[in-house]
Amino acid sequence: MSPAVIVLVMASCVLRAGWNLQVKRWSVSPAFFLRATGLVTLVTAPVAALVGAPAAMRHASLTLWLCLLITGVCMAGYYICLALAYRSGDVSVVYPLARISPLFVVPLAA
C-alpha cells in the first residue's frame, strides 16, 4: 500500500472523529445535518459534473434511481438518529455505536 493511501485514510479517520466531536459540542438538530449535506452536495456537484456523472445518470435505470432514493431516506434517518443521540448521550458511547451500525444494517438489508 502506498504512503499516500495510508495518509489519506488516516486523515479521513481524524476528520471524521473531529467532525463528530464538533457535532456533539454544538448540540445540533437534524435540520443541521440536512443543511450540511446540502452544502457538501453543492461543493461536490461540480466535481461530479467534470467526471461525467450527468451523462451516466441519464442512462441510469429506474432501479438505480429507486436505490438512490432509498439510500437518501436511510441516510436522513441515520442523521436524525445521530443528532438525537448526540443530544442525549455521550460521544464515547454514541460515536462507537454509530460507527458499528453498518454491521447490523447490512445483514438486515440482505
pLDDT at 62: 81
Whether the Cβ atoms of residue 84 and residue 29 lie closer than 8 Å to each other: no
Q: What is the pLDDT of residue 31?
A: 85
Letter for the amino acid at 41? T
Say if residues 79 and 34 touch (Cβ distance below 8 Å). yes
Helix spans in 27-101 (H): 30-50, 53-58, 62-88, 91-100
How far apart CA 26 and CA 28 sit, in angstroms, is: 5
Tell me the three state secondary structure of residue 89.
coil
Per-residue pLDDT for 52 more than 70?
A: no
Q: Which domain holds residue 64?
A: 3-109
Handedness of CA 33, 36, 38, 44 (dihedral sign): negative
User: What pLDDT, on a 0 to 100 scale, did the predictor assign at position 10?
Assistant: 93
What's the Cα-to-Cα distance from 21 to each of 14, 81, 107, rounded to whole Å? 11, 16, 28
Residues 37-61 have a mean pLDDT of 77
Give the predicted TM-score (pTM) of the model: 0.65
Averaged pLDDT for residues 10-26 = 84
Q: What confidence score (pLDDT) does residue 50 get?
A: 76
Of 55, 54, 19, 11, the C-alpha closest to 36 is 19
Q: Could you give the number of structural domains in the chain?
A: 1
pLDDT of residue 78: 84
